[in-house]
Amino acid sequence: MPSLKPISWVLLGAGVLVGGFLFWLQVGVVAALAGFGLNGLSLQGHLSAAADSLVEGDYQKGEAEYFAAQDSADAVIRSSDVPQLAVIGVIPGLNPAVLNWQRSANATSLITQATGDLITLYGDLSGENGGEKIFSDGAINMTMLEELPARVDASAEKLSLAQVELDSIQANTTFSQPLDDIRDKALREMEPVQEAVGSLEGVAPVLPDALGANGVRRYLIALGNQAEMRASGGAPLTLVMVELDNGKISIPIKGQTSTQLFPPLNAAVTWFGPALNTFFPGNPRNAPFVVTNTHPNLLMSGQEMMGAWQGGNFPKVDGVVYLDLTAIAAVLTETGPIDSPTYGSVTGDQLGQILLVDAYADFGQEDATVRQAANQQLVDDLLTRILSGDDLVKAASAIAGTAPGRHFQLYMKNPALEQLALDAGAAGIVASPETGDWSAMYTQNGNQSKVDVFQQRNVSVTVNLEADGSARVNQQMTMVNATPPDRDPGPEKGIGYETMWIKNAYLLYIPDAARNYQVSYPSGFAVRPFKGHSRQQYGQGWVDDGYGNKLIRVVGWTPPGGQAAVGVSYTLPAGTFIDAETGALEYEILADPQGLFISPTITVSVNGPEGWSPVRYQGMDVTEQNATVSAVLDAPTKIMVEFRR
């Protein structure tokens, strides 16, 4: 067998070295790619599961998912730090891909850390991490609260650095192009975490002062009864004043509005309210507290509540928190039932039926004090549960979830707090949108009956759209008094909660741009003009609501089983519904809700001009040139119908 020459041995050795190097390089890169891909998918799944668990109030599961996500994030980091990538990084054309890889891994780690910060914060709020709670037994740990802004800022900084890393990814080469999708997906995954941290960034700095760090703060909690509606919510028939002094919470005043706090039976009080309130002719006011939230906009009604509370010789308050039975039911659904000596076990599903229907049927006018005492006990038990701190996060989340339907609303005297309420969509604002059409219709009880709980409402909007982008609009609200037929109808057109008749004021808005507007209503109904605001009158009963929005009020009676249809019609000018870029006709309407116990529905039917056809989407009914869309009006709702030639 011939022996190899020295040069052959050198070449063979070099080949082995090169082959070994390439094998090492290949194995390392393949392993890193596999680690990056598999652990990236695992990370995404665990982070999503952690977020879902927190929303569901399952801290233990959320924490476990976070730890699993952290393991995946660490593996992704390791995949970007293998020596093979350092070698590839010096090869022309491959360096951007390696840098992008490392940037993605760094961003992944930062996003995971920020998510962990939120989970830890949740644990501190709920006390489920085994440490001291921020809130428990009616007291707030002010030291922990004052540390909150720094903790939130740290999370925000991590997300900001992650954003920089992701934005710096260059996906303009063949080798780096696959990371383009990864970057975009990571940015999308960041959004809910950024939103959560952004919300905390706004609220954390103002919380200490709002909770009494710099002096006593007082807030009036008004519990709205949806069996007797006002425009901005249910009648405020139960009131609670909460006092916060350097983190200590107390409830020095509480009770039934009509008999305990403003006796005898809704006594009128004198107070000064905000100027230009259409519903009061001037200052000082002189009326019962229970009519303070007649203005649809809580920005106005909240100030009236504060003024009337003080007018009743109660302490000044720094804000108003409005809750109705829909919000309270959501709390019971999340935290469990409450046992009542009068009503038995009260669950979230049963609350409305028990308090808004059965209680008025079972306890007549003569037994009103028994019903009120039972209701007050339920409120007291609920407050005791919330102030214990055990279910704070669940309760707060449940309440906040009802804000879009105006079942939870806030008015705060502090501008920073009021801005937070505005940003969160919990300020109860009623305002015409800057563009498009608008539907805002409200009913207000005028005879103290308790049958608004049976109201069934549908708003029908019919639109004739023209090729120039103008439109003729007709809106009609149909209100059915769906009182059960087995109930005693009581006296015809009666006053008090034993009558089944409804006397409503219908408050109807039109968009700012509306022209040629008019109102329609049944025989026997009448426009009820607002008095004392001559400079705000538009004529024929139309008035500026104090914020530049056009409003009219129609009043009429509806018997049990009957219905009433009131409406407004108007034109909107040319160009209102033309898309400047595409030339398509785009009809859009914003519909605002009222916090009824039974959510109304809205049906929008748009007729296009000759030669134009609607663009279909799921849920739309189309017949030739007509498109019809319906929705449950339990939140601010936008409906858009597009027409093309």
Q: What is the DSSP string of 462-525?
A: EEEE-TTS-EEEEEEEEEEE---TTS---STT--STT---EEEEEEEEE-TT-EEEEEE--TT-
Tell whether 183 and 302 lie within a shared domain: no
pLDDT at 381: 84
Alpha-carbon distance of 383 to 547, in angstroms, equals 35
Q: Which of 145-149, 331-335, 511-515 has the weakest average pLDDT?
A: 145-149
At 129 the pLDDT is 66
Per-residue pLDDT for 34 more than 70?
A: no
* Average pLDDT rounded to a whole number, residues 330-343: 89
| Separation of CA 626 from chain center | 32
Tokens of 49: 């599961």
- Domain stop point among 165, 194, 209: 209
Exposed, middle or buried: residue 203 (CB in 10 Å: 0-12, 13-18, 19+)? middle
pLDDT band at 52 (very low <50, low <70, confident <90, very high): low
9 assigned to some structural domain: no
Asked if 135 contacts 144 with a C-beta cutoff of 8 angstroms, the reply is no
Is 485:574 a contact under the CB 8 Å cutoff? no
Q: What is the pLDDT of residue 49?
A: 67
3-state class (DSSP) for residue 414: coil
**Where residue 151 falls among pLDDT bands split at 50, 70, 90?**
confident
pLDDT number for residue 254: 93
- Confidence (pLDDT) at 84: 46
Both 555 and 629 in one domain: the answer is yes
Using DSSP's 3-state secondary structure scheme, residue 88 falls into helix
User: Most confidently modeled of 25-29, 55-59, 308-312, 495-499?
Assistant: 308-312
The mean predicted confidence, pLDDT, of the chain is 82
pLDDT reading at 172 higher than 60? no
The region of weakest confidence among 41-55, 182-196, 462-476 is: 182-196
Question: Band of the pLDDT at 24, cuts 50, 70, 90?
Answer: very low
Question: CA nearest 527: which of 505, 545, 547?
Answer: 505
Per-residue model confidence as pLDDT tens digits over 589-630: 999 999 999 999 999 999 999 999 999 999 999 998 999 999
Residue 597, SS3 per DSSP: coil
Specify the DSSP class assigned to residue 433: -
pLDDT over 90, % of the chain:
48
In this structure, is residue 432 part of a structural domain?
no
Q: Are residues 443 and 414 in the same domain?
A: no
pLDDT band with cut points at 50, 70 and 90 for residue 20:
very low
pLDDT band at 35 (very low <50, low <70, confident <90, very high): very low
pLDDT for the residue numbered 637: 97
pLDDT of residue 607: 97
Of 37-51, 125-139, 236-250, 595-609, the least confident: 37-51
The answer to whether residue 347 scores a pLDDT higher than 80 is: yes
d(CA 159, CA 316): 41
Q: Which two tokens stand for residue 57?
A: 């109030």
**Cα angle: 587, vertex 590, 594; to 5 degrees:** 150
State residue 169's pLDDT score. Answer: 59
Query: What pLDDT, on a 0 to 100 scale, did the predictor assign at position 102?
Result: 64
Burial (Cβ within 10 Å: 0-12, 13-18, ≥19) of residue 642: buried
- Rounded to an integer, the average pLDDT of 234-260 is 92
Task: Look up residue 288 and give its two tokens.
Answer: 């019962």
Does 99 reside within a domain? yes
Query: Would you tell me how many other CB atoms lie within 10 Å of the CB of residue 72?
Result: 22
Q: At what angle do helices 178-203 and 415-423 cross, to 10 degrees?
A: 140
Q: Does residue 147 surpass a pLDDT of 90?
A: no
Give the pLDDT mean for 132-143.
Answer: 73
182 CB contacts (<8 Å, ≥6 apart)? Answer: 40, 104, 169
Is the separation of the CB atoms in 250 and 319 below 8 Å? no
Nearest to 364 by CA among 467, 462, 488, 447: 488
Q: Which of 39-48, 49-58, 115-124 has the highest mean pLDDT?
A: 115-124
Residues 145 and 52 in one domain: yes
Helix/strand/coil (H, E, C) string of 523-548?
CCCEECCCCCCHHHEEECCEEECCCC
Same domain, 443 and 398: no
In which band, very low, low, confident or very high, does the pLDDT at 216 lie, cut at 50, 70 and 90? very high
- What torsion do the CA atoms of 415, 421, 426, 432 make, to the nearest 10 degrees? 60
* Spatial separation of the C-alpha atoms in residues 610 and 612, rounded to whole Å: 6
The pLDDT assigned to 19 comes to 38
What is the pLDDT confidence band of residue 218, given thresholds at 50, 70 and 90?
very high
Distance from C-alpha of 386 to C-alpha of 75, rounded to nearest angstrom: 41
Q: Lowest-confidence range among 135-149, 194-208, 305-319, 398-412?
A: 194-208
Residue with tokens 């015409």: 432
Q: Decide: helix, strand or coil at residue 424.
A: coil
Residue 428 lies in a domain: no
287/387 same-domain check: yes
Instruction: Tell me which of 397, 423, 449 is where a domain ends.
Output: 423
Which residue range(s) make up the domain with 471?
A: 437-644
3-state secondary structure of 402: coil
- pTM attached to this predicted model: 0.81
**Confidence bin at 77 (pLDDT 50/70/90):** low
Mean pLDDT to the nearest integer, 48-62: 66
* 313: alpha, beta or left? (left if phi > 0; alpha if psi -120 to 50): left
Report, as an integer, the average pLDDT of 515-542.
90
Which amino acid is residue 417, in one-letter code?
L
CATH of the domain at 467: 2.60.40
Residue with the bigger pLDDT between 192 and 407: it is 407
Residue 333 lies in a domain: yes
- Place 188 in a pLDDT band, splitting at 50, 70 and 90: low
192 and 222 belong to one structural domain: no
Pairing of strands 542-544, 613-614: unpaired
3: in domain: no
Q: Domain ends where: 396, 423, 450?
A: 423
Has residue 21 got a pLDDT over 70? Answer: no
Give, in degrees to the nearest 5, the angle at Cα 495 between 354 and 306.
Answer: 70
Q: What is the pLDDT of residues 539-573, one digit of tens each?
A: 899 999 999 999 999 999 999 999 999 999 999 99
With respect to residue 200, please indicate whether it lies within any of the assigned structural domains.
Answer: yes
* Number of structural domains the chain divides into: 3
Q: Are residues 235 and 280 located together in one domain of the fold?
A: yes
- What confidence tier does 69 reach under pLDDT thresholds 50, 70, 90? low
Q: Within 13 Å, how many C-alpha atoms sit on residue 511's CB side?
A: 25
**Does residue 428 surpass a pLDDT of 50?**
yes
Is residue 168 located within the same domain as residue 245? Answer: no
Is the CB of residue 290 less than 8 Å from the CB of residue 232? Answer: no
In a domain, 518, yes or no: yes
Q: Judge whether residue 90 has pLDDT over 60.
A: no
Same domain for 521 and 611: yes
Q: Are residues 558 and 525 in the same domain?
A: yes
pLDDT in tens, 439-494: 999 999 999 999 999 999 999 999 999 999 999 999 999 999 999 988 877 778 88
218, 243 Cβ separation under 8 angstroms: yes
Structure confidence at residue 194 (pLDDT): 55
Q: Which two tokens stand for residue 515?
A: 């022209």
308 within 8 A of 286, measured Cβ to Cβ: no
In a shared domain, residues 293 and 407: yes
pLDDT over 70, % of the chain: 73
Decide which of 7 and 583 is more confident: 583
